[in-house]
Amino acid sequence: MTTSFTRRRAIVLLPLAAVLPACSLTRPSPVKRTFLLEPELPAPGPRTHAGTLRVGAITVAAPYRDRGFVYRTGELKVESDFYHEFFASPASMVGEAAARALSAARVFDRVVRAGVGLEGADYVLEGFVASLYADARTAKAEAEVAVNWYVSRAAYPGGVVWTREYRERAPIDGPGADAVAAAMNAALGRVLAGLARDLAAAELPKG
């Protein structure tokens, strides 16, 4: 392991290391800190599809679906942070963020958040979060977010009419969980901006 890699790993894992000295019989237990996935919203785009889009199921790859921050320290090694975590499940927050982003960008006449029935919807957006972690393996520590998006017809017989994969990385500018959360939000914001841009430009079948 090189000196530079060791330094990067130490910076990214500092949120984990910071709580260890408090784990003793003479000091109070460390307090968990929670963070939101609420990236910056894209600006309204030049095109709006007629109809209603409902945000449907968002699934997350097994290593990243729990609330604790995940750190990649090797090709096959990950570490989870018990003391720094998302406020809610990543799946629910990514779904909420997608609905907000598509509403702000005015990609459809109406965007309905997850949990609302299909009645009145023309299309359904679903997603698979393939990556959501802090990466200590690169020359500079970064957060990576990757999502595969699928748009289907809401009406029978359904069927996927549009799909796209986005993978974005953002530098972790400083030590600590705040910097990790900021980088994850920045990367997710870029994913959602790409989704809004490309979905608005897509030729979707009517009916």
Averaged over 12-41, what is the pLDDT?
69
Let me know if residue 207 belongs to a domain: no
CA distance 43 to 105: 5
What pLDDT score was predicted for residue 24?
A: 45
Let me know if residue 176 belongs to a domain: yes
Q: How many percent of the chain have pLDDT more than 70?
A: 85
Alpha-carbon separation of residue 3 from 8, 14, 78, 133 (angstroms)? 9, 16, 20, 22
Let me know if residue 36 belongs to a domain: no
Let me know if residue 25 belongs to a domain: no
What pLDDT score was predicted for residue 39?
A: 98
Q: Say if residue 23's pLDDT is above 50.
A: no
What pLDDT score was predicted for residue 6?
A: 45
- Give 82-94 pLDDT, tens digit per residue: 999 999 999 999 9
For the chain, give the mean pLDDT.
Answer: 88
Averaged over 9-27, what is the pLDDT?
50
What pLDDT score was predicted for residue 15?
A: 57
CA distance 55 to 73: 33
Let me know if residue 194 belongs to a domain: yes
- Give 39-82 pLDDT, tens digit per residue: 999 999 999 999 999 999 999 999 999 999 999 998 889 899 99
Let me know if residue 35 belongs to a domain: no
**Number of domains making up the chain:** 1
State the pTM of this model. Answer: 0.85
* Domain encompassing residue 83: 3-20+48-201
- Give 101-136 pLDDT, tens digit per residue: 999 999 999 999 877 766 789 999 999 999 999 998
| CATH number (domain holding residue 16) | 3.40.50.10610
Let me know if residue 143 belongs to a domain: yes
Let me know if residue 151 belongs to a domain: yes
